[in-house]
């Protein structure tokens, strides 16, 4: 049952709306053993989350549109009529899917904060007669984590053309189910998949609020920051060949053990990252046949490499690639995101709005942060959309883990900051 908005102006203000929305999401895809989330694209959990988003949009009288790849857009105002007048919409939002055993905040904090920010602006409209000069949209991007089919930000990459529909439809999950089949089972037409210039034309600017995936704000003792950019980063699949045989009867000299090449690549990734000042992770591996007493016939590992300097990331990947090729592996680049700079004018405007509204006595106003985490805002920015981010303090600094956290007061500070920047961006003559 969607929560009835409009009580955001009550004494408990933002919490009065934020908390029920958060509680409604809390159980969806949660593993009671770990407290982590499994919310993968085009699964039952994803369906539940999409239905929740649609109900909350309807409860606010927002017009819900699903684009060619399944991203959900909820609009206050008519973005097409505004686009005819050369006025792009002001969009916020994020994603609802997770990594395996992910935290509660990565993605959902941006979507829930966006809905509550709309409630704050609606209350201001009722109280002050304020009306946005531009449509305001809330987006739920599909498959941002790429946890099931392996390509991150798939929804935003597809509509911007950064990911070809043909490549996406052929992606398969651990069970061998293709994205095409998963879409069909979810009642979507896989052949509709492709770039969606109409969806993008509606967006004048995009501001994504996200839990910080690090400790910078905790160290700065500030609840909210403005994002400046995203490090270059990518994913590579490493397939190591071997020969299945009996663990107890095959002499060492006779073995072709795929695990050895994989293990060397893992150690090389760490050494190369240290050498080049980057981050390299091999966090996912698949072993065939996967028997304790069977020498592996094949091992597939996935490399995630990132860093502030593109050449250093490439050098890190090259070193791992050379090691893998020595073991006879094939190496496939699955995704690459270049250095991403958010719209500097937009970021400056956010700082102007928030610097004034930030905690008193801070001469430097609101902090600015870069990040090594990928986001849909980065994909849109690289497609020429004016985009920026807001980060909310995470005292643990941990993410992609059940330990990810944001204090309720900081979540509310994030909502108020988001509402302030949306009001400025969508305001009269904006
Ligand atoms: O991988 C990332 O940085 C993001 O969480 N998709
Ligand atoms: Mn994430
Ligand atoms: Mn995220």
From the CA of 391, the nearest ligand is 3
Residue 221 CA to residue 213 CA, distance in Å, equals 15
Which among 307, 374, 389 is the best mutation to test ligand 1's pocket, defined by most ligand atoms within 8 Å of the CB? 374
Q: Kindly state whether residues 265 and 294 are assigned to the same domain.
A: yes
> Is residue 302 predicted with pLDDT exceeding 90?
yes
Residue 333 CA to residue 80 CA, distance in Å, equals 37
Q: Provide the pLDDT for residue 1.
A: 44
Q: Is residue 8 part of a domain?
A: no
C-beta of 404 in contact with ligand 1 (< 6 A): no
- The ligand 1 atom at the shortest distance from the C-alpha of residue 146 is 6
3-state SS, residue 226: strand
CATH of residue 74? 3.40.630.10
Question: What whole-number percentage of the chain has pLDDT above 90?
Answer: 91
Q: Kindly state whether residues 118 and 53 are assigned to the same domain.
A: yes
Q: Is residue 421 part of a domain?
A: yes
> Is residue 361 predicted with pLDDT exceeding 50?
no
Q: Is residue 4 part of a domain?
A: no
Q: Kindly state whether residues 223 and 305 are assigned to the same domain.
A: no
Single out the residue of 413, 427, 425 nearest to residue 116, CA to CA. 413
What does the CA dihedral 189, 194, 197, 198 come to, rounded to 10 degrees? 0
For residue 146, how far is its CA from the centre of ligand 2 (angstroms)? 9
Q: Provide the pLDDT for residue 324.
A: 98
- The ligand 1 atom at the shortest distance from the C-alpha of residue 233 is 3
Q: Kindly state whether residues 164 and 262 are assigned to the same domain.
A: no
CATH of residue 282? 3.30.70.360
Res. 95 pLDDT band, cuts 50 70 90: very high
Q: Kindly state whether residues 212 and 265 are assigned to the same domain.
A: no
What is residue 315's DSSP assignment?
Answer: H
Q: Kindly state whether residues 134 and 34 are assigned to the same domain.
A: yes
Identify the domain boundary among 336, 356, 371.
336
Phi, psi of 217 (to 5 degrees): -70, -30
C-beta of 379 in contact with ligand 1 (< 6 A): no
Q: Is residue 415 part of a domain?
A: yes
Contacts of range 396-401, beta carbons closer than 8 Å, 24 or more positions apart: 396/215, 397/212, 397/213, 397/214, 397/215, 397/218, 398/103, 399/103, 399/105, 399/106, 399/211, 399/213, 399/214, 399/373, 400/99, 400/102, 400/103, 400/106, 400/213, 401/36, 401/101, 401/102, 401/103
Identify the domain boundary among 336, 366, 395.
336
- The ligand 1 atom at the shortest distance from the C-alpha of residue 304 is 1
Phi, psi of 284 (to 5 degrees): -130, 135
Residue 322 CA to residue 329 CA, distance in Å, equals 10
From the CA of 231, the nearest ligand is 1
C-beta of 373 in contact with ligand 1 (< 6 A): yes
Which among 106, 108, 145 is the best mutation to test ligand 1's pocket, defined by most ligand atoms within 8 Å of the CB? 145
> Is residue 351 predicted with pLDDT exceeding 60?
yes
Which residues on adjacent β-strands are paired with residue 335?
Answer: 235
Percentages of the chain per state (helix, strand, coil), in multiples of 5: 40, 20, 40
> Is residue 376 predicted with pLDDT exceeding 70?
yes
pLDDT digits (tens, 9 = 90+) for 99-150: 999 999 999 999 999 999 999 999 999 989 889 999 999 999 999 999 999 9
Q: Kindly state whether residues 208 and 291 are assigned to the same domain.
A: no
Q: Is residue 7 part of a domain?
A: no
8 Å CB contact between 334 and 237:
yes
For residue 245, how far is its CA from the centre of ligand 2 (angstroms)? 38
Q: Provide the pLDDT for residue 12.
A: 72
Q: Kindly state whether residues 29 and 146 are assigned to the same domain.
A: yes
Answer positive or negative: Cα dihedral of 405, 34, 284, 165.
negative
Q: Provide the pLDDT for residue 197.
A: 97
Q: Kindly state whether residues 410 and 320 are assigned to the same domain.
A: no
pLDDT digits (tens, 9 = 90+) for 6-40: 467 665 789 999 999 999 999 999 999 999 999 99
Q: Residue with the nearest Cα to atom 6 of ligand 1? A: 145
CA distance between the termini of the chain: 35
Q: Is residue 306 part of a domain?
A: yes
C-beta of 374 in contact with ligand 1 (< 6 A): yes
**Which residue is it, tokens 């089972």?**
185
Q: Is residue 307 part of a domain?
A: yes
For residue 126, how far is its CA from the centre of ligand 1 (angstroms)? 38
Cα separations in angstroms, 341 against 13, 29, 345, 379: 35, 33, 11, 11
Cis, peptide link before residue 398, omega less than 30° from 0: no
Identify the domain boundary among 303, 336, 369.
336
Q: Provide the pLDDT for residue 10.
A: 62
pLDDT mean over 343-353: 95
Single out the residue of 212, 249, 234 nearest to residue 334, CA to CA. 234
Q: Is the pTM of this model over 0.85?
A: yes
From the CA of 102, the nearest ligand is 2
**Which residue is it, tokens 């909210």?**
224
Q: Is residue 27 part of a domain?
A: yes
Mean per-residue pLDDT of the chain = 95
Res. 356 pLDDT band, cuts 50 70 90: low
pLDDT mean over 311-316: 98
Q: Residue with the nearest Cα to atom 4 of ligand 1? A: 374
Q: Provide the pLDDT for residue 130.
A: 86
Q: Provide the pLDDT for residue 428.
A: 58
> Is residue 359 predicted with pLDDT exceeding 60?
no
Q: Kindly state whether residues 249 and 181 are assigned to the same domain.
A: no
Residue 302 CA to residue 347 CA, distance in Å, equals 34
For residue 216, how far is its CA from the centre of ligand 3 (angstroms)? 17
pLDDT digits (tens, 9 = 90+) for 25-82: 999 999 999 999 999 999 999 999 999 999 999 999 999 999 999 999 999 999 999 9
- Number of structural domains (the chain) is 2
> Of all helices (H) and strands (E), which one includes residue 290?
none
Q: Provide the pLDDT for residue 355.
A: 82
C-beta of 212 in contact with ligand 1 (< 6 A): no
Q: Kindly state whether residues 79 and 140 are assigned to the same domain.
A: yes
Enclosing domain of residue 270:
233-336
Q: Provide the pLDDT for residue 8.
A: 73
Q: Kindly state whether residues 109 and 142 are assigned to the same domain.
A: yes
Q: Provide the pLDDT for residue 295.
A: 98
């Amino acid at each position: 049952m969607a929560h009835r908005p409009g009580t955001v102006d009550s004494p408990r203000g933002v919490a009065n709306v934020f908390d029920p929305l958060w509680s409604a999401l809390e159980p969806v895809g949660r593993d009671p053993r770990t407290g982590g989330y499994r919310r993968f694209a085009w699964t039952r959990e994803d369906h539940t989350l999409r239905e929740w988003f649609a109900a909350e949009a309807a409860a606010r009288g927002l017009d819900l549109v699903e684009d060619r790849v399944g991203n959900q857009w909820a609009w206050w105002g008519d973005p097409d009529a505004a686009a005819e007048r050369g006025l792009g919409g002001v969009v916020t939002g994020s994603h609802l899917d997770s990594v395996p055993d992910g935290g509660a905040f990565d993605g959902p904090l941006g979507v829930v904060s966006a809905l509550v920010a709309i409630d704050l602006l609606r209350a201001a409209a009722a109280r002050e007669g304020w009306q946005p000069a531009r449509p305001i949209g809330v987006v739920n991007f599909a498959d941002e984590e790429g946890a099931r089919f392996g390509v991150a930000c798939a929804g935003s990459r597809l509509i911007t053309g950064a990911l070809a529909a043909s490549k996406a439809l052929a992606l398969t999950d651990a069970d061998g189910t293709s994205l095409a089949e998963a879409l069909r089972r979810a009642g979507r037409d896989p052949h509709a998949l492709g770039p969606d210039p109409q969806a993008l034309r509606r967006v004048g600017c995009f501001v994504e609020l996200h839990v910080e995936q690090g400790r910078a704000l905790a160290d700065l003792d500030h609840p909210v920051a403005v994002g400046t950019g995203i490090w270059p980063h990518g994913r590579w699949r490493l397939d190591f060949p071997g020969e299945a045989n009996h663990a107890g009867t095959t002499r060492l000299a006779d073995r072709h053990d795929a695990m050895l090449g994989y293990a060397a690549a893992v150690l090389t990734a760490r050494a190369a990252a240290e050498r080049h000042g980057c981050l390299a992770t091999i966090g996912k591996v698949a072993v065939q046949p996967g028997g304790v007493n069977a020498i592996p016939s094949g091992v597939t590992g996935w490399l995630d490499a990132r860093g502030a300097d593109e050449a250093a990331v490439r050098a890190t990947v090259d070193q791992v690639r050379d090691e893998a090729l020595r073991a006879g592996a094939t190496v496939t680049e699955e995704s690459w995101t270049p250095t991403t700079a958010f719209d500097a004018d937009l970021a400056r405007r956010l700082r102007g709005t928030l610097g004034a509204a930030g905690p008193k006595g801070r001469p430097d106003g609101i902090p600015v942060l870069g990040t090594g985490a990928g986001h849909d805002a980065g994909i849109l920015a690289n497609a020429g959309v004016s985009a920026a981010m807001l980060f909310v303090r995470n005292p643990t600094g941990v993410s992609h883990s059940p330990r990810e956290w944001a204090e309720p007061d900081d979540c509310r500070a994030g909502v108020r900051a988001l509402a302030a920047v949306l009001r400025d961006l969508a305001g009269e003559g904006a």
